[in-house]
């Protein structure tokens, strides 16, 4: 019992700090303006007094030099703008440094009808695997149902268009992360409660972090059982190969966004890896 508590303490010390380092930064919109070329909050604006006259919170100096074009400096940006006040404000908002966001919808697939069909068809194996997954315990039942949800949400995401597509993209990442949590719990019932609570808290904002942590827990458990059980070695070898292939396809999709059908190939490689995980639940 003492060894088990020490194991949980060391596990918490290594894994949990990752969650507390996650910071969601909100955009810093400029709220303070000043004239006569003095820097305020890293922003320096020189513009004609006529454009600023009557603007709330702005005081115009008595002396100034009229320029046909004004200079707008934002941190490391240097733009040449017109005398219209609305245009510089729009440029300020556009040129702000990007802030970290929970989900970045940068998937470039589904450019054609055929690619969309391929992505939807290759999402269906996850539904089949969820239906075939063992349901011997409550945690394994939860994992099987969540795996079915992955296939359904993935199909809806690839079918969707317009503004709702970003919502389904977030749902796609979130269901995958939730499934990884359910799988790590199903194959290893001694997961620290603090880790599970932190994962549930961070899940809506950083699903990729949750997926990475719990996939790592599952991989360690799979490797340990494969060493002690010869019947799992073939499944583990297949799992390792498919996982490496899926990782490479994930990177290639990001680096070669114009290459068609990479995402569909990633679906197939991931489905093979998930199918081998079902051996752990038998």
Tell me: the pLDDT tens digits for 191-232? 888 999 999 999 999 999 999 999 999 999 999 999 999 999
Cα separation, 82 vs 47, whole angstroms: 9
Res 25: pLDDT: 35
Is the per-residue pLDDT at 249 higher than 50?
yes
| Per-chain mean pLDDT for the chain | 74
Res 197: pLDDT: 93
Interhelix angle 233-255/262-277, rounded to 10 degrees, is 160
Residue 45 pLDDT level (bands cut at 50, 70, 90): very low
Cα separation, 16 vs 29, whole angstroms: 32
**Mean pLDDT across 139-162:** 95
Instruction: Specify the higher pLDDT residue, 140 or 86.
Output: 140
- In tens, the pLDDT along 87-127 reads 454 554 555 444 444 444 455 678 899 999 999 999 999 99
Is the per-residue pLDDT at 183 higher than 90?
yes
72 in helix, strand or coil? strand
- In tens, the pLDDT along 120-140 reads 999 999 999 999 999 999 999
Is the per-residue pLDDT at 1 higher than 80?
no
Please provide the size of the chain in residues: 282
Q: Which single residue is written with the structure tokens 């470039």?
A: 108
Question: pTM to 2 decimals?
Answer: 0.63
Cα separation, 3 vs 281, whole angstroms: 26
Residue 64 pLDDT level (bands cut at 50, 70, 90): very low
Is the per-residue pLDDT at 174 higher than 90?
yes
Res 258: pLDDT: 86
Cα separation, 257 vs 100, whole angstroms: 21
Res 108: pLDDT: 61
Q: How is the chain split into domains, by residue range?
A: 43-95, 103-281
Q: How far is CA 161 from CA 101, 117, 120, 157, 208, in A?
A: 21, 14, 14, 8, 23
């Amino acid at each position: 019992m003492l060894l088990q508590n020490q194991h949980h303490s060391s596990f918490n010390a290594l894994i949990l700090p990752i969650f507390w380092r996650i910071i969601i930064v909100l955009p810093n919109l400029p709220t303070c303006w000043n004239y006569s070329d003095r820097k305020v909050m890293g922003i320096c604006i020189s513009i004609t007094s006529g454009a600023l006259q009557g603007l709330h919170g702005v005081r115009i100096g008595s002396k100034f030099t009229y320029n046909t074009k004004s200079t707008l400096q934002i941190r490391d940006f240097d733009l040449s703008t017109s005398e219209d006040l609305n245009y510089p404000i729009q440029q300020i908002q556009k040129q702000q440094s990007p802030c970290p966001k929970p989900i970045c919808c940068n998937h470039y697939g589904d450019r054609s009808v055929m690619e969309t069909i391929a992505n939807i068809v290759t999402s269906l194996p996850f539904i089949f695997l969820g239906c075939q997954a063992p349901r011997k315990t409550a945690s394994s039942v939860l994992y099987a149902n969540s795996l079915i949800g992955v296939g359904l949400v993935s199909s809806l995401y690839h079918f969707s268009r317009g503004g709702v597509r970003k919502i389904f993209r977030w749902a796609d990442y979130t269901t995958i992360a939730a499934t990884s949590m359910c799988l790590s719990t199903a194959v290893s019932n001694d997961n620290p409660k603090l880790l599970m609570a932190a994962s549930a808290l961070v899940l809506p904002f950083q699903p990729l972090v949750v997926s990475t942590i719990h996939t790592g827990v599952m991989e360690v458990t799979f490797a340990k059982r494969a060493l002690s059980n010869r019947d799992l070695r073939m499944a583990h070898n297949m799992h390792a190969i498919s996982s490496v292939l899926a990782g490479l396809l994930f990177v290639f999709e990001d680096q070669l966004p114009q290459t068609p059908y990479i995402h569909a190939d990633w679906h197939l490689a991931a489905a093979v890896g998930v199918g081998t995980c079902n051996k752990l639940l038998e």
